[in-house]
Structure formats: structure tokens, C-alpha cells
Amino acid sequence: MRKTSRIIIFSLILGLIFSIIGFAETNEINIIKIGLQYTAADNNTVKPLVVIKGNTAFELGELVNDQYVPLVQLPHITQFSFDKDNGYHAVVGPYATYEEANAVMGQVTGGFVVKSDNYYVYSISSSQSEAQSEATRLTGSGYSVVLGTPNANLVVVKNGTVLIGFDSSVGEYIMTPLGSELKDSYSYFDNVSYRGGFGAKRVNTNDITLINYVMMDEYLYGVVPREMDKNWPVEALKAQAIVARNFAVVNINKFSHYGFNLDNTTNSQVYGGYKWEGPLSNQAVDETSGLTLKHETTLVNAFYHSNSGGFTENSENVFSAPLPYIKGVYDPFSIGAPNDTWTLEYSKSFIENRLKELGYDIGSLKNFYVSEYTDQNRVYKAIFIGTTDHAILSKQDIRKAFGYNEVKSTLLKVVPDNSLVVTDGKEFIDKSPTTLTVISGDGTVSTISSDVYVSDGDETSKIPNVATKYVINGKGWGHGLGMSQWGAKNMAEQGFEFEQILTFYYTDTHIE
């Protein structure tokens, strides 16, 4: 049952899809693919050249059935870049091994080896006619040659000159530190160190998409300290590690149309790579390795947020689908933590202009109030009444409209500067004059449409009919679903273990 009264809504840009059946088990995911640089499928904006640096030499490998398979050692390469190749080539081959292709590379003008279904040697040619001439020459020397037309999926590895190439539509090719097999090593992109290796794709013939291929737990090494302070109590960090693992598995196909699983931003989970790791956060990942949170046999879509403000929320009151394990609870552990209370003040004109920017032209704002609350006292529906129209913003729409870092949560109250305190004999309530009705001497009931005058017996004060500003008193930060991170910290400091923390915030769940 929802309560009726006042204001405002939603949280972090999680962009999450509710799908509560058929999730993969974590032991099925060995290597996760994180997009570090990409462009939308309909955007051909050119990205900066991708340069990768290492402390050791590199090798080219391939991801096959979620396992890394080394292919070619490149012992003299400690720095390289991924680049596109859209040219014509004389293509010699196929060859079963890199060594066979490499043996004839010197016979081909500017030759370099390309891994596709097999190994091939490509010429470097400045035009179609030059490539054709090279193909004719090589055919006359007894080689099997075809004219290679521009391939929108061809990626080349360069360091001044082309070192090797691969067809990104054929396989998942990875440049990784020599002999590491993606584990316990790191290299650098944009001066940030990352574990695992790097691959590149050209999705929809687009610019270079850079992907970090990394073991699941080593990915979490770089997530947990970005989503929670790495020096917090280890039991809180363990809880964070498990919900981060759950999130990764549940959302494993979120960016599959770009050729990777998740990105490194708040669109997924913030992932900072090796440089952000800490001893305690790594320990938390190690000591919970492979563990997940489940409701019955279903893997939990483990939403989390910064601070609940004292109450978490039901999933259907923030997004759309009811989830049996995301239910609102009273959360005393978040009270007293940072952002457990906050205040905003908006002028009447600011609200009018902001609504107009969003396509709501309601004229001059007459009133703004929350018309419906959830059982946890979060905004379910807010109404903006104007002289020509009105606007209704539901659930997350208010936070989205005014900014997630401004309206930090929907656990809030709106107080106009013309509010009156009235009573029905049972409770005292703040009311705007435009929401009050009066009864005249003849019994006529009407809504107040003019200024109100109130008196304490000594003085009379004028209360304007229309507010000039609105104060928003809020609690907490985030959408309020699932685990409160500040609450988890306080629980850990009080001696609760990670399983107790998780089962407090996620209803009827258990660890497996």
C-alpha cells in the first residue's frame, strides 16, 4: 500500500536489464572481456591510436572455449599499437603454422604474417594495381597467391612497421606478456596498468575497439577497490567482491554486440585495473573466489548503492520487475554515515526551465509535490502543476531529470517556501496553500486560489499562494536496491561477517 504526500526519484546509471532465469554459473566463466575503448555501432568517430606497453616481451594468443591458447612468440616486442588496415594486398598462403608463413615473408614486399583461419603472408601495397602486380610476380615464382581486397575486420599490430596482423571476425586474438597465459602479469594502456592481455576488434567496420582479456578474479581485483574503499573492513570487502562477481555473471552479455562483456565505467562496474588494487581488497576476492549469492537456485542480480539513508527499496519501485530477493528493509546501519542526509534548494524559475529543457512546457509553476510514496517512504510519483499543463515524473525520472549527483536518492521530502502546517487532529502535515480547501459560510467547498493570511493573535502574516522556491530534504545516495555499502562497512565494524551482511540486504538468499 503506498502513501500519498511529496517528492523525488532514482539512482546510479546502471542501465540494468532484469532477467532472473538462466544465468551462467561462475565456474563457466574463466576469462572476462572488458571494453576499455569503443565507439557505438552507428558512430565512426576516430579514437586515439591504441598503444600498449609492457615490462616484458609479448606473444599473440587466442581465446578458445574460454581458455587462452598461445600461438606466436614475439620476443623482441615490448611496445605496440593496434591499427586498422583497409588496403589491398597480395596474399600468400595458406600455411598451417606461423613458422611456415614466416619462412616466406622475406620474399613478399613489405611482408607480414596475418592469422585468420590459417596463417597468411600479406604484402604492403599502396594501391590495388601495386598489390595486383605483386600478386602476379609471386605467382610467377611458384607461390599460391590471391589479391586481397580491403578487409574491414583486419587489425594490424605495429611498432613503426607492421609486426603481425589478425582477422578480428575469425577469432579472439590477444596480445599478452610472453609466457604469462593471462595470469599474474600486467601491461599498460594509456599509462594505466592492467592484468591479462589486450585484444582489438572492429565491430561493424568501426574504429578500433580495445578489449582487456582478464581472469575473472583478477578483474575483480580491479573492481572491488573502485566500488568500495580498499582499506575498509575485509568482511565488507568480501561482501562487495561477491556482489561484484554476481553482477559480472548476470550481465555477462550486456555489451556482446560490441564484442566484449562489460565496460570499465558505471555503465557496468567501475574497473580500474592493476594500479587500483590493494592487499585487503585482493584478499577479499581470494577468500571468496567462486562464491556467489543465490535465491533458491537463481543467481541474484545483486544491485548495490552507496547509502540507503535508513531504508532500502523493492526492485519494482525503482525499475519495473519485482525480484523476490530485492525487498525494502529498515537499515539502521546506514544512519549516521556520509550522505545519510542532504538538502537541496531549487527556485521556481529553475524548475520551470529544467522541465522545459526536458520537453515539459507547463507554463508558470504553481505547485510541486510528491503525490505518491512507497512503503519505504521513497518517491513513487511527483507532480509539477503549471498554469497551462502539468508533468508527472515517476520512480527514477526525477533523479534523471535533475541529476543523480544532485538528487542523491528518492528518500526525500519537498518543502515549498509557502508551506503551512495543518492538522487533521491526528498528525501535523506540511501543505501548500494550493492543496488546501476551505468551506465558506454557506457551506461551499473550494480550493484556495489566492494568498493566505495567518494570525497568531498578535501578528498577521501573508503566505503567498505560489511558492518561489522548494527545499528538498533527502536521505542516502543511490537507488536504494540491495546492499548499502556504508551499511556494509558499519556492519563489518560491528562484527558481522560477509554472509550476514549479504543475507541482511538480500531477502531469502544464501552463499554458494
Extract the C-alpha cell encoding 291: 562464491
Q: Which residue has the higher pLDDT, 102 or 45?
A: 102
Three-state SS at 240: helix
Task: Grade residue 1 by pLDDT with cuts at 50, 70 and 90.
Answer: very low
Q: What average pLDDT does this structure show over 240-268?
A: 95
Contact 311, 484 (CB under 8 A): no
Contact 7, 414 (CB under 8 A): yes
pLDDT digits (tens, 9 = 90+) for 218-250: 999 999 999 999 999 999 999 999 999 999 999
Domain count, the chain: 2
Q: Is residue 340 part of a domain?
A: no
Task: Grade residue 506 by pLDDT with cuts at 50, 70 and 90.
Answer: very high
Enumerate the β-bridge partners of residue 390.
Answer: 385
Alpha carbon distance 333, 322 (integer Å): 25
pLDDT at 428: 61
Q: What average pLDDT does this structure show over 459-478?
A: 84
Q: Is residue 210 part of a domain?
A: no
C-alpha angle 426/430/432, rounded to 5°? 130
Alpha carbon distance 151, 155 (integer Å): 9
Q: What average pLDDT does this structure show over 286-308?
A: 96
DSSP 90-118: EEEEEESSHHHHHHHGGGSTT-EEEESSS
Is residue 441 over pLDDT 80?
no
* Range name among 183-197, 203-217, 223-237 with the lowest pLDDT average: 203-217
Three-state SS at 350: helix
Give the pTM.
0.84
Q: Which of 97, 122, 147 is the last residue of a domain?
A: 147
Percent of the chain surpassing pLDDT 90? 74
pLDDT at 20: 36
Q: What average pLDDT does this structure show over 113-140?
A: 96
pLDDT at 137: 96
Q: Is residue 117 part of a domain?
A: yes
Q: Which of 147, 164, 184 is the last residue of a domain?
A: 147
Alpha carbon distance 327, 129 (integer Å): 68
pLDDT at 466: 81
Q: What average pLDDT does this structure show over 122-140?
A: 96
Q: What average pLDDT does this structure show over 30-37?
A: 95
Is residue 201 over pLDDT 80?
yes
Is residue 144 over pLDDT 70?
yes
Domain that holds residue 113: 87-147
DSSP annotation of 69: E
Three-state SS at 351: helix
Q: Which residue has the higher pLDDT, 73 or 208?
A: 73
Task: Grade residue 439 by pLDDT with cuts at 50, 70 and 90.
Answer: confident
Is residue 455 over pLDDT 90?
no
Length of the chain (residues): 512
pLDDT at 320: 77
Alpha carbon distance 282, 290 (integer Å): 14
pLDDT at 444: 75
Q: Is residue 318 part of a domain?
A: no
Alpha carbon distance 456, 87 (integer Å): 86
pLDDT digits (tens, 9 = 90+) for 349-400: 999 999 999 999 999 999 999 999 999 999 999 999 999 999 999 999 999 9
Q: Is residue 232 part of a domain?
A: no
* Range name among 113-117, 152-156, 438-442 with the lowest pLDDT average: 438-442
pLDDT at 17: 36
Q: Is residue 136 part of a domain?
A: yes
What is the CATH number for 110?
Answer: 3.30.70
Contact 121, 93 (CB under 8 A): yes
Q: Is residue 361 part of a domain?
A: no
pLDDT at 184: 86
Q: Is residue 179 part of a domain?
A: no
pLDDT at 417: 85
Measured CA distances, 131 to 122, 125, 398 (Å):
10, 5, 60
Is residue 278 over pLDDT 90?
yes
Is residue 25 over pLDDT 90?
no
